[in-house]
Structure 1
Amino acid sequence: MSFSTMPRILALVAILSGVGGVAQAFAAPVLVQATPAAGQTVAAGNVALRLSFDTVIDPFRARLLLLGPDGAPRLLPASPVDDEQQVISTTVALTPGHYVLHWRMRTRGGDTGEGTLPFDVGTPSTPPATGATPSR
C-alpha cells in the first residue's frame, strides 16, 4: 500500500465509523406525540398523559417523573396502550400550576431516550370568537 492511498482509506474508515454512530443514535426511542402537548394548558382534575414513540419501547423500563408546582418529584406508573407498545399512558389528579414531565424510555434492544415535557394546569385559554359582528 502506498502513501497516496492511505489518506483515502483513512477517510473511508472515518466515514463508515460516523455512519455507524448515526445509526446507533437513531435507535433510541424518540417522542413523536404527547398529550398534553409541550406548553399546553389543560384543565385541573384528572389529567390523561399519553406519550407516543417512533419505536417499540420496553414498558417495564419506562420511567415517568412529574415535577409539580411544589417541586416535589412524583414517580408515575404507566402502562402500554396497545399490543405494539409504542404508546404509554397514565392518568393523574393535578391541581393548577406549572408541571414538567421527565420521561425516560428504552427499546427492547436497550437503547435509551429521554426528554422533558413542560405543561400547565389551570383554565385552558379559550380560542377567540370568529365571525363576530363588530358593534357600532
Structure 2
Amino acid sequence: MNMIRSLAAALIFCLTSVPVVAHAILLSCVPTVNSIVKGPDTPIRLRFNSRIDLKRSKLLLVYPDGTQRELTISSQDSPDMLVSEAKGLSQGSYLIHWQVLASDGHITRGEIGFKVQ
C-alpha cells in the first residue's frame, strides 16, 4: 500500500509541476525571416518567450560581401526584447546572427536572413 501511495504522490507531483524557466525561443522578429525591406535604415526588433540578459546578448550583421559588424543594442523596451537599427544598408542579402542569454542561464543562438531592395 505504501508503494501505491508513493507512486500516486510522484505522479501527482510530475503532473502538477511546471517548469519555472525555459530556453529563450524567438517569437517574432523585424525584419521577418527572408523578407525584403527598403533601405537604407532598417529597424531590428527580436521578441523572445523569456526575459533576456541585455548585457550578455549580441547582434551581428553580416553584409552581402561577408563583412561583419556588431550592432549596438538599444536599452530594452521590454525585458523579452532586443532592439537595434542597421543604418546605411545598400541593396543585397544580409544576415543577422543573434545570441541571447535567457533567465535560465542558457545561451540561445539563431539567424535571420533578409534582403534590402
TM-score w.r.t. length of structure 2: 0.77
In structure 1, the residue matched to 2:97 is 102
Contact 1:80 1:86 in 2 (8 A): no
Amino acid at match of 1:91: E
Larger radius of gyration: 1
Aligned pair partner of 2:111 in 112, 116, 132: 116
How many aligned positions are there? Answer: 99
Amino acid at match of 2:86: V
Does residue 62 (structure 1) correspond to residue 94 (structure 2)? The answer is no
User: Residue 80 and residue 32 in structure 1: after superposition, are their counterparts in 2 closer, same or farther (change >3 A)?
Assistant: farther
Distance between the aligned counterparts of 2:80 and 2:26, measured in 1?
Answer: 10
More relative contact order in 1 or in 2 (CA 8 Å, sep 6+)? 2
Deviation above 3 Å: which 4+ runs of structure 1?
A: none
Residue 79 of structure 1: CA displacement?
Answer: 2.5
Residue 81 of structure 1: CA displacement?
Answer: 3.3
| SS class of match (2:41) | strand
Distance between the aligned counterparts of 2:103 and 2:54, measured in 1?
Answer: 9
Give ranges in structure 1 of 5+ residues lacking alignment: 1-15, 17-22, 123-136
In the TM superposition, what are the counterparts of 1:54-93 in structure 2 within 5 Å? 54-82=49-77, 84-93=78-87
| SS class of match (1:60) | helix
Amino acid at match of 1:100: L
Contact 1:59 1:79 in 2 (8 A): no
Q: Deviations over 1:42-85 (max 9, x none)?
A: 00111101000000000000111111111011111113432x41
Aligned-residue sequence identity (percent) comes to 30
Q: CA RMSD in A?
A: 1.9
Amino acid at match of 1:104: Q
